[in-house]
Structure 1
Amino acid sequence: MNRIAPIAATLALSAEAAIRWTGCPTDYKPMEGALDMDRYAGKWYEIIRDKWYAFEWLQMCGNYEYSKKDDGKYQVVYNRWTPLSDWKDTPGCVMPAEGRTDAAISVDFDKAPDDAQIPVYTVMDTDYDSYSVIYQCEEHWWGSYDGVWILSRERTLDDATMGQLVSQITQKLPEYGFFENHMMTPQGESCVRDEEPEKFMDVDQNN
């Protein structure tokens, strides 16, 4: 099966990336109430992502599959294709974000030894059935770095919905610079796998 050609140029962080020399914004309005993980579970395809996000450099065909474990907690497997390693699947633990009452979740892909190192992803909007908008911001001693994702239950998202979501992002996060920092994630026929992704045992954060 033909694969998507590798990205031609190496991406590098620059002053135009989603970097700010202050802390994370506090005036944006995420979705109210806790995320209903039972409804959110299942597969989400990545339609748009931040092009400077280092964790996803040179990666395509990304999708996230959330599932409920035997103990009632949730895990996610991040599936994507890279020109260096073909398909790659990474499991992670999903937890409610500590101290948050909105639709924010902590996702630990690396079994971080310190809870403070686990990234928090805020679901800014979702209808659970077709789209989801994710925002993440990390603070460091020099300032902060943020990113936005648009996900879909299908490999494509209709233009009307996309337009509404982009408008919402630019209104809620005017300092983010959506049009300068986003990129489309390919989800075409080349993203259909020859083999089913690896099935992981329940991921245990404490192991």
Structure 2
Amino acid sequence: MKTLFLIQFVSLIYLANCWPFPIDLIFELAKITKLEFDTLKDIVTAADHVPQALTGFSLVPCPAQSEPPSDFTWEDFKGTWHEIERTAMFEILETGQKCTQFSFTKESDEFKINTTVFSEILNKQLSASKTINVKDQKNVFGVKINPIKESQYWIVDTDLDSYALIFSCEQILQASLRNAWILGRKPTLHESIRDLLVKKLGSLGIPESSLIKSDQSCSTFIPFND
């Protein structure tokens, strides 16, 4: 079981610099004892996506952030979004998780991102919440992952009612690490809209081959209340 512990530990370090929710969920997964062997098998299977994940690395700097859609407001963006597809980097780190949902809410004067997933390993729903730091460019927001690190995310495109495309790029000297999430108000997204978003990701240096479809097959999943 030392191998599983090592994988979880490395994942924890990586997640401290990435998308805001899974780090809290990894703490839950670290408590597992009975199902460690099955989990390890799942991780080995997910490791097949490593070549896809590596396509998120680029030897050029991050692209410039574009202006938000003309009608974009955080008030209209609030609510629940289902993860339709994500970059393959997270396929290994989110082993055993499905039905990922993000709920953007406003509490007092603060916006928050509340994340829920269903863990097949623990056989229960897991949740985490982070405060959003909305930037001067309103479609850009930061999430503090740890006391000294804030990662930035960019809402590239959304119609507010059915789809959203979120992009993240971490500068590493003159190189960059790029990740993206295609979201939908419903667990499925029309293929024509999906193709349009994939084309936009291509212009940002993320090829279609780096994307993994998210499993949204939860009949009894209960999201955050909007």
TM bin, normalised by shorter chain, reads 0.7 to 0.9
Q: Which runs of 5+ in 2 are unaligned?
A: 1-41
**Which one of 75, 89, 101 corresponds to residue 38 of structure 1?**
75
Aligned to 1:203: none
Structure with the higher helix share, 1 or 2? 2
CA distance in 2, matches of 1:47, 1:187: 8
CA distance in 1, matches of 2:100, 2:115: 7
1:180 and 2:220 equivalent? no
Q: CA deviation at 1:142?
A: 7.1
State, as a whole percentage, how many aligned pairs show the same letter: 20
CA distance in 2, matches of 1:147, 1:118: 15
CA contact (8 A) 2:112 2:132 kept: yes
1:83 and 2:115 equivalent? no
Q: CA deviation at 1:18?
A: 0.6
Q: Which runs of 5+ in 1 are unaligned?
A: 1-5, 200-207
Aligned to 1:168: 200
CA contact (8 A) 2:50 2:88 kept: no
Aligned to 1:51: 88
Aligned to 1:94: 132
SS in 2 for 1:180: helix
User: Which amino acid in the other structure matches residue 166 of structure 1?
Assistant: V
CA deviation digits over 1:99-133, x for unaligned, max 9? x525101123x4x212xx21111000011111100
Q: 1:185 to 1:30 in 2, by over 3 A?
A: farther
Q: What number of residue pairs does the alignment pair up?
A: 181
Q: 1:30 to 1:46 in 2, by over 3 A?
A: farther
CA deviation digits over 1:55-74, x for unaligned, max 9? 952132111011110x2211
Tell me how large the CA RMSD over aligned residues is: 2.8
CA distance in 2, matches of 1:74, 1:55: 29
Q: CA deviation at 1:81?
A: 2.0
Q: 1:23 to 1:77 in 2, by over 3 A?
A: same
CA contact (8 A) 1:34 1:104 kept: no
CA deviation digits over 1:143-200, x for unaligned, max 9? 3211111101011111222222222322x32x322x2210100112x3532xx4678x
**Which one of 142, 161, 177 corresponds to residue 129 of structure 1?**
161
CA contact (8 A) 2:116 2:126 kept: yes
Q: 1:126 to 1:163 in 2, by over 3 A?
A: same
Aligned to 1:25: 63
Q: 1:197 to 1:133 in 2, by over 3 A?
A: closer
**Which one of 113, 124, 128 corresponds to residue 147 of structure 2?**
113
CA contact (8 A) 1:133 1:165 kept: yes
Q: TM-score, normalising length from structure 1?
A: 0.75
CA distance in 2, matches of 1:166, 1:21: 21
